[in-house]
Amino acid sequence: MWINFDMYCCHSRCTVKNPSQSAMSTLISKCKTANKPLVVAGCVPQGSRDLKELEGISIIGVQQIDRVVEVVEETLKGHEVRLLSRKTLPSLDLPKVRKNKFIEILPINVGCLGACTYCKTKHARGHLGSYSIDSLVDRVKIVVSEGVREIWLSSEDTGAYGRDIGTNLPNLLNAIVAELPADRSTMLRIGMTNPPFILEHLNEIASVLRHPCVYTFLHVPVQSGSDAVLK
């Protein structure tokens, strides 16, 4: 996301993709050249907080989005704000503008349990943190009432959902499906999942995928098994 107002610039990019991070550096340089207060948000400052490009500017991490107004206001006053640490998850009902008014992207957990040598996600997103089933179901009820046609469950690893709070993905999916309209006016899509955890619930997940309100779809990333290719 790149927002350019007359008074300041705010920028958010994905740090796990080199082209995105390079584009971010270019945009930061342009904003500095324009002599405007600058706020960088998202994965880049969280996972690469020591980047030279981030020196002297305000940054906000991935779990502090609910304080972005505060950070912008302080930056406009000439203060440098670095907000990267948080112990609780952001609220699910923060104000938002959907890119597509018929699609709700619903985060069910943040962070991951892995420590893959080729992946920077753990550095950017931290350890697993799951939202409660009740809070997610409440959000589903709200967006269905708003006329949303598709709900996309998202996270760095949907298969790991709930392992930190004593539940699991099948329990969540069954609770959500129970709230979807029987006429299939709102469909559910399950987001990215890594193989190790989803395999523990394969039969239960397969049962959910047969539900008429759930897309028969799984996004499973596959990495190379070659050390040379990874390098």
Quick: pLDDT tens for 37-71. Answer: 888 887 777 767 677 788 888 888 777 777 888 88
Residue 114 and residue 79 in one domain: no
Lowest-confidence pick of 31-40, 86-95, 127-136, 164-173: 86-95
Flag whether 92 is in a domain: no
Q: How many CB atoms lie within 10 A of CB 231?
A: 7
Flag whether 90 is in a domain: no
The pLDDT, as a whole number, for residue 2 is 40
Percent of the chain with pLDDT over 70: 85
Using CB atoms within 10 Å of the CB of residue 60, give its burial: 0 to 12 exposed, 13 to 18 middle, 19+ buried. buried
Three-state secondary structure of 126-170: CECEECCHHHHHHHHHHHHHCCCCEEEEECCCHHHCCCCCCCCHH
Flag whether 91 is in a domain: no
Residue 74 and residue 34 in one domain: yes
Of the residues 83, 116, 143, the one at which a domain ends: 83
216-229 core/surface letters (b: 16 or more CB in 10 A; e: else): eebeeeeeeeeeee
Of the residues 48, 83, 118, the one at which a domain ends: 83
| Better-scored residue on pLDDT, 171 or 16 | 171
Residue 195 has pLDDT above 80, yes or no: yes
Flag whether 96 is in a domain: no
Residue 79 and residue 129 in one domain: no
Residue 182 and residue 132 in one domain: yes
Flag whether 48 is in a domain: yes
Residue 61 and residue 107 in one domain: no
The pLDDT, as a whole number, for residue 17 is 55
Q: How many CB atoms lie within 10 A of CB 204?
A: 15
Residue 75 and residue 13 in one domain: yes
| pLDDT tens column, 69-124 | 888 898 888 888 887 776 678 788 888 888 899 999 999 998 888 777 767 676 66
Rg for the chain, CA atoms, rounded? 19
**pTM confidence score:** 0.72
* Eight-state DSSP code of residue 230: H
**Phi and psi of 21, rounded to 5°?**
-70, -35
Number of domains forming the structure of the chain: 2
Residue 3 has pLDDT above 50, yes or no: no
Of the residues 19, 49, 83, the one at which a domain ends: 83
Residue 121 and residue 192 in one domain: yes
Flag whether 89 is in a domain: no
Residue 53 and residue 119 in one domain: no
Residue 28 has pLDDT above 70, yes or no: yes
Flag whether 178 is in a domain: yes
Residue 108 and residue 49 in one domain: no
Taking the C-alpha atoms of residue 54 and residue 40, their distance in angstroms, rounded to an integer, is 8
Flag whether 164 is in a domain: yes
Residue 1 has pLDDT above 90, yes or no: no
CATH number of the domain residue 163 falls in: 3.30.750.210
Report the chain's mean pLDDT, rounded to a whole number.
83
Residue 193 and residue 112 in one domain: yes
Residue 170 and residue 79 in one domain: no
CATH number of the domain residue 18 falls in: 3.40.50
Range of the domain at 61: 2-83
